[in-house]
Amino acid sequence: MKHSIRAFGAAAIFGASMALATTAAMADWPEHPINLIVPFPAGGGTDTFARPLAQQLGTQLGQSVVVDNKGGAGGTVGAGVAAKAKPDGYTFFMGGAHHAVAPSLYKNLNYDIQKDFVPVALLAQPPQVVVINKNKLPVNTLQEFIEYARARPGDINFGTAGKGSTHHLAGELFALQNGIKLVDVPYQGAGPMLSALIGGQVDLAFDGLGSSAGHIRSGTIKPLAVAAKERSPSFPDVPTAAEAGVPNYEVSTWYALWAPAGTPKPIVDKMIAEVTKALNAPKVKEIWANNGSVTPNLTGEKFGEFVNSEIGRWGKVVKDSGVTLD
């Protein structure tokens, strides 16, 4: 009996020691650089927000936050890598609306966005914008484009960040609503897609304003409308789709932060606090505004509920548009 008591006491002391050691380790977090997996190539919409956020978080935390671009398959390759990462607080995942679309399109995903990740925070919500190569399409308004496309069914193509991406579905939805036929051309992310649009390999794109903003300002691509209820304060001269004659076309994209499931709650809670602080830093707010995004205030479980609702919303868009992946 005494041996049992001693064994129990030793186990209890060991367990308490381990708990104290874990608590101490989390109190010192982060002790080395943090890896931020971005599941698209550099230069796209996710990158537009990931890099300034990573820089600001690094300043706050006193450790580098390193952006790790792992593109492929509409953002699902990087998501799969992040889902299998060690949940020690040194890997986070920056995905977005694409990852609410994927469950409706991909039959054999090697991750579950709802089960394999812990929701941290919604980071940015820029609207989609219809942008064209002005040298390929001789139009100046959204209505002119619709009339031009109706007269040329199947002759006009639009670039996407991959099959099943929000760019793809936004284009399919626009074509469906306006009775036109467009051909989608998938790329490995918004960066390569925009390069193709600027270079004239595609005619137009339905892009997130964040990744298109700089190119619109430089005049290399031409915006026809933002798919939002109100004009973007950053581009007050660009009409909304409704103002341009397409009243029911409202599509926004969003970017967000997750941690691999199993990441200690104190670390997740600390990251939520740091992200909230970062998003309210004057420099970050300025960058967000310049890229047409509001600064969201949605974290933790509430953000998780938002993701669940988005999975349902995009599932209906996939069904209604008839988009399939071969």
Q: Which helix (H) or strand (E) holds 65?
A: strand 65-69
CA atoms within 13 A on the CB side of 163: 9
Q: Is the pLDDT of residue 58 over 80?
A: yes
Q: Is the pLDDT of residue 23 over 70?
A: no
* Helix segments in 152-264, DSSP class H: 166-178, 190-199, 209-218
* Helix segments in the chain, DSSP class H: 2-27, 45-61, 76-83, 98-105, 142-150, 166-178, 190-199, 209-218, 265-279, 282-290, 300-321
Mean pLDDT value across the chain:
90
Q: Which pLDDT score is estimated for 1?
A: 53
Q: Which pLDDT score is estimated for 149?
A: 98
Q: Which pLDDT score is estimated for 325?
A: 73
Q: Which pLDDT score is estimated for 18?
A: 43
Q: With contact defined as beta carbons under 8 Å apart, do 254 and 242 qualify?
A: no
Amino acid sitting at position 255: Y
Q: Which pLDDT score is estimated for 110?
A: 95
Q: Which pLDDT score is estimated for 317?
A: 84
Integer Cα distance of 63 and 57 in angstroms: 8
Q: Which pLDDT score is estimated for 6?
A: 56
Q: What is the mean pLDDT of residues 260-279?
A: 98
Q: Which pLDDT score is estimated for 4?
A: 53
Integer Cα distance of 279 and 286 in angstroms: 10
Q: Which pLDDT score is estimated for 21?
A: 42
Helix axes 209-218, 190-199, angle to 10 degrees: 30
Integer Cα distance of 196 and 157 in angstroms: 11
Integer Cα distance of 175 and 170 in angstroms: 9
Question: Which of the pair, 219 or 252, is modelled with greater confidence?
Answer: 219
No. of helices (H) and no. of strands (E), the chain: 11, 10
Q: What is the mean pLDDT of residues 303-309?
A: 97
Q: What is the mean pLDDT of residues 57-82?
A: 94
Q: Is the pLDDT of residue 311 over 60?
A: yes
Write down the residue that tokens 């199993």 correspond to.
Answer: 262
Tell me: the pLDDT tens digits for 123-143?
999 989 999 999 999 999 999
Considering all CA atoms of the chain, what is the largest pairwise distance in Å, rounded to the nearest integer?
A: 91
Q: Which pLDDT score is estimated for 85?
A: 98
